[in-house]
Amino acid sequence: MTRFSLFFGGALLTLASVSSAAKFYKWVDDNGVTHYDAAPPQGVQATEINTRTNASSDQDSAIDALNAKREAAARAKATAEKQATEEKRLETEPEAVSQERCEQHQQNLDTLKNKPIVRRENPDTGEMEVLDQEAKDKMIEETQEALSKCQAS
């Protein structure tokens, strides 16, 4: 009886592992969206996903990459909208815009000279980064040059 129980239990475990190893397919549509399904779509190249191991799929990295693309697109759109608004304002109120820019340059210069650690947003990633001394010196030079143009006008 014990051998039969062991044999029967082993057979059940084998059948359970085979039945839980269903086939799934992954493909990317024309919009760059990754899809997963039990049946591959017609006319689209799909990759079979291994569900038998505990190895994680690349879905997390695909989601992270997609989110990074979306965030970059949103930042680019916001920057473009801000620039368009600034250009319209420059056409209607050139003196006020020029004055605001000069005031901002002065504030930036004060910050660069007086703060030991200066952070800025990386335009590519949107993450905050600490400026090293070389970058800080370069920004001070550029800001002083911009301020000299303000005082000349």
- At 44-56, the pLDDT tens digits run 888 888 776 555 5
Mean per-residue pLDDT, 87-113? 91
- Separation of alpha carbons 137 and 130, rounded Å: 13
Looking at the DSSP bridge assignments, the partners of residue 47 are: 26
Q: Which of 75, 68, 86, 81 is nearest to 32 (CA)?
A: 68
Q: State pTM to two decimals.
A: 0.48
Q: Which of 46, 146, 58 is nearest to 106 (CA)?
A: 146
Task: State pLDDT tens for residues 43-96.
Answer: 888 888 877 655 556 778 888 889 988 988 898 899 899 999 989 988 999 998
CB 46 within 8 A of CB 27: yes
In a 13 Å sphere around the CA of 138, the CA atoms on its Cβ side amount to: 5
Please tell me what DSSP assigns to residue 34. E
Mean per-residue pLDDT, 95-113? 91
CB 36 within 8 A of CB 49: yes
Q: For residue 33, what pLDDT is reported? A: 86
Dig out the tokens for 56 from the structure. 């994680």
CA distances from 29 to 39, 57, 96 (A): 15, 18, 49
Query: Can you tell me whether residue 130 is helix, strand or coil?
Result: strand
